[in-house]
Structure 1
């Protein structure tokens, strides 16, 4: 195994899919209700075979290289394909443009065999040279300025990926700087979709893909997609998808009722319960302790804080944007350590831990929190935590600051305890545990991700080895051990996982929320009443 110092130059990429934020959300699941839009289509109505989808921040142009946050990854998923894909409803990996793959014995070369007969939207065939070219465009140093995905996911060249090559027309080889087990999860992200430069009818440059839909019309706040004939995975259920920029509840409710909108993906819990559904995502909120200084350099005091946070009371404060989290990993990530709750404990336990920590009574640490009140009222959540701890003789001050100020203070380690958040853009444990918990990510400054500045060589070794092994069973064992160590040390305490939301009309069929927020829409359709269904053999 590579020794830690050598590993350090490239190991910062081991956080590739984690972006740390200081905004939060929370909510309990709801089920689609048939109460929404009781107006059944009349026989005189025109049958629509397009889905109208509302979401905030609909882009007017698509570039997988910028599809990291917001609505862009969702739309990119419908237009572009990746070498491998996340399975429906989970973050397990399945074939996509590549039908099979294998890694060399040293884990440094991954070979992918491409699916035969796949074509880009302009009719040209997919080849290994096109795939390699798609990756290389994003790996070039000069591309890093405008391209946000590769730096965020893989830190660009020469991070994890050294080279992408095409030894023949159907084989793609990805050469790594070091063994990197989460590679497949990374490659399933829409930001790493395969795209080909093309020229539009107006002469403008654009990127085209091989996905189930192609872009046919784009304007500010509106993007129309049309089903791609001969798509390799079979025809999509809907002939057209029209994405519309819809942010506010009032607008969404009006357009859902008038049938101008079929599905709405809000950024926050919707006001309306009818037709709403939710599922846990991959963004967690947590309490970070500055472990380098008093008072939270004391492990037993950190344990006392976790024991004092009652998840039932916390859930009420989270309202409908998130739910309490009792694990270091969210539900959509494999390798979770189950059966060992992190939050909550008896008053006797809390007081015993406080006594053992020799809590200095004259000390009143500060809880740093973003001042934002929507979609989750973070100062209010901080007040709930303050009350929970205060009732057990753990008084806190609250310091509410702008998001930019909070980030600056976190990166400098200039705080006692902070409420912050991390997002995993994939389903591998490494992508959350490594950046939040290891020495590599504990260097102060803009690259800091381990805001607790906790350093433990034994934990580093466990997480590094887990990131380099090929077999899932061995990695699972190491991640269980790593989470047990975190549960004992508690440099940070997970407190909630955000919920993602959708609102759909009752005639929408086949909609399932994906943990990543990148939902498949080629399997979604409108339920056409029998009286409106075309006769066998009829054409439109």
Structure 2
């Protein structure tokens, strides 16, 4: 999710239902290493434009797409996803199975794999990773959003989902959980839970993180020594020239990368990214503006549209603006937004108005939720009933970023601002760079109202709802509301239901309750994002998770 979260092939999306007792086996076998694959000796450099700077090179502390795009090339997890889908697939584990109660998971590990510094990947390394993730200082617990929202707590917390890791020899590991959960083992495919070299983490003090202003001060490991098992290794981050350079890992256990170097060139301006691609200065960029799709295709560029597997929402923080505690005020703000017009004018073909906090393809989606169709007169009346006819709101939106659910943040902000002003709401704009204060500010509770979204990491209701409301410190802070802890508790209860049919019914009921009784935020839309490459680039499979693997890229 973010945060989240990762071209010539056609995307085929398959939403896999995960069973707690499922057992998966590798299609690739459990051989000790790959042969290197065709094309692994190319001297080509692939340059891909990033919309913003990475926040860190340690994925455990990351929550933003620009960071994950890079770390996915360096690191791998125990599980993965089949290219072009959200279907679970083997990663560094070749197979797995669970106990009947869903609390104990056993993973068979790939053998003969080494981290890029030569450290063996084995069961001991897996346990060292999980123990490191679970044992964080205060700053680390604040930074590690994906662990906090998925595992609920850290070491010694009564709510900590992770209860221990045991090495069963070198090639088998056992993970114990506090309770059954629908998200296991899929969440282990998240970039944040990638396996990292225990040697490098110890040597360069990976857990040495501290709070600094609105963000964090990271260790040497996170800044310049990230070490994984992936097809690329870290070379440099040239801040002055705004480039991150990765090089092919010639000792990679699987098929070697087909390009020698992978460079991420940071170009915050969307128009400049397009011009750079057309001029041949870069080889691709993500999230081209929908208005540019036709012209890019006419110019011979390889543009692929991913399936919509995301939600754009407007977050509301009643701790920063007490007027937002009133349900009537939140409802009024929702009725005031002309979402149909916003989707038509600001989002690409295939986008849709959201009625709840996840897409229709996710189990538990309900057609029976309360609808908030555009009704400015009703919005005005509700504000009057709440005594807030002169409401003023600080409304945040990000700069230097384009997200799958939010291709043009400023345009979307302006559309909503205009709608609110029509019903008498005074809007005070606040904008910050995505990786320069926006993420940390919104997640730190500084914004009364803000634009944010989520691209699914895998196909479960909890991946959306749990990330938003899994605790009173989820992506949307519900701690100011008396029902905040109830929502978090209901989510944990529904996530623990083992029977898929019963679990789906429970989530439908919860979705209806969220949208009618609580309305903690305002779902806006789902949007199909695109990725584009130059004429001479092929082989990258577009992912509905926006989790592309660049090691398969071929550049002529």
1:102 positional shift? 2.3
1:430 and 2:455 matched:
no
* Correspondences of 1:467-478 after superposition (within 5 Å): 467-478=495-506
Does structure 1 conserve the Cα–Cα contact (< 8 Å) formed by 2:2 and 2:64? no
CA displacement, residues 88-111 of structure 1 (integer Å, 9 cap, x when unaligned):
334332221112222334433222
Q: Distance in 1 between matches of 2:323 and 2:269?
A: 44
Q: Distance in 1 between matches of 2:125 and 2:469?
A: 38
Q: Distance in 1 between matches of 2:109 and 2:61?
A: 24
The answer for the alignment partner of 2:477 in structure 1 is 449
Give TM-score, length-normalised by structure 2.
0.68
Query: In the superposition, relative to structure 1, how do residues 411 and 148 fare at CA in structure 2: closer, same or farther (>3 Å)?
Result: closer
Larger radius of gyration: 1
Structure 1 range deviating more: 360-369 or 184-193: 360-369
CA displacement, residues 152-187 of structure 1 (integer Å, 9 cap, x when unaligned):
654432432232221221111222233333242332
1:215 and 2:230 matched:
no
Q: Distance in 2 between matches of 1:516 and 1:61?
A: 20
The answer for the alignment partner of 1:190 in structure 2 is 191
CA displacement, residues 59-111 of structure 1 (integer Å, 9 cap, x when unaligned):
59833333432422111111211001233334332221112222334433222
1:518 and 2:550 matched:
no
The answer for the alignment partner of 2:415 in structure 1 is 381
Unaligned runs of 5+ in 1: 1-16, 21-30, 33-46, 529-540
CA displacement, residues 355-407 of structure 1 (integer Å, 9 cap, x when unaligned):
8x79539641526242547442365233333266x3xxxx4333445678999
Does structure 2 conserve the Cα–Cα contact (< 8 Å) formed by 1:162 and 1:175? yes
Does structure 2 conserve the Cα–Cα contact (< 8 Å) formed by 1:53 and 1:263? yes
* Correspondences of 1:37-186 after superposition (within 5 Å): 49-57=44-52, 62-142=57-137, 145=140, 148-149=143-144, 150-151=147-148, 154=151, 155-158=153-156, 159-186=160-187
Give TM-score, length-normalised by structure 1.
0.70
The answer for the alignment partner of 1:24 in structure 2 is none
Q: Distance in 1 between matches of 2:440 and 2:377?
A: 32
Query: In the superposition, relative to structure 1, how do residues 493 and 448 fare at CA in structure 2: closer, same or farther (>3 Å)?
Result: closer
Does structure 1 conserve the Cα–Cα contact (< 8 Å) formed by 2:290 and 2:348? yes
Does structure 1 conserve the Cα–Cα contact (< 8 Å) formed by 2:336 and 2:379? no
1:212 positional shift? 2.1
The SS at the match of 1:180 is: coil
* Correspondences of 1:268-347 after superposition (within 5 Å): 273-274=295-296, 275=301, 277=304, 279=306, 280=308, 282-286=310-314, 288=316, 297=326, 306=334, 309-316=337-344, 318=346, 323-331=351-359, 334-335=362-363, 337=365, 339=367, 345=373
Does structure 1 conserve the Cα–Cα contact (< 8 Å) formed by 2:55 and 2:62? no
1:458 positional shift? 7.6
Q: Distance in 1 between matches of 2:105 and 2:331?
A: 43
Does structure 2 conserve the Cα–Cα contact (< 8 Å) formed by 1:436 and 1:451? no
1:207 positional shift? 4.0
The answer for the alignment partner of 1:264 in structure 2 is 285
Q: Tell me which of 266, 269, 272 is aligned to 1:245.
A: 266
Q: Distance in 2 between matches of 1:321 and 1:465?
A: 37
Aligned length: 470
Q: Distance in 1 between matches of 2:285 and 2:446?
A: 39
Q: Distance in 1 between matches of 2:269 and 2:469?
A: 38
Q: Distance in 2 between matches of 1:55 and 1:225?
A: 14
The answer for the alignment partner of 1:370 in structure 2 is 395
Does structure 1 conserve the Cα–Cα contact (< 8 Å) formed by 2:270 and 2:289? no
Query: In the superposition, relative to structure 1, how do residues 183 and 296 fare at CA in structure 2: closer, same or farther (>3 Å)?
Result: same
Q: Distance in 1 between matches of 2:497 and 2:268?
A: 43
The answer for the alignment partner of 1:26 in structure 2 is none
1:129 positional shift? 0.8
Q: Distance in 1 between matches of 2:443 and 2:415?
A: 19
Query: In the superposition, relative to structure 1, how do residues 370 and 269 fare at CA in structure 2: closer, same or farther (>3 Å)?
Result: farther
CA displacement, residues 415-451 of structure 1 (integer Å, 9 cap, x when unaligned):
7xx454343662332243246457x528xxx997127
The answer for the alignment partner of 1:486 in structure 2 is 514
Query: In the superposition, relative to structure 1, how do residues 255 and 343 fare at CA in structure 2: closer, same or farther (>3 Å)?
Result: same
Structure 1 range deviating more: 138-147 or 237-246: 138-147
Q: Distance in 2 between matches of 1:60 and 1:407?
A: 10
Structure 1 range deviating more: 359-368 or 161-170: 359-368
1:263 positional shift? 1.0
Does structure 1 conserve the Cα–Cα contact (< 8 Å) formed by 2:456 and 2:464? no
The SS at the match of 2:420 is: helix
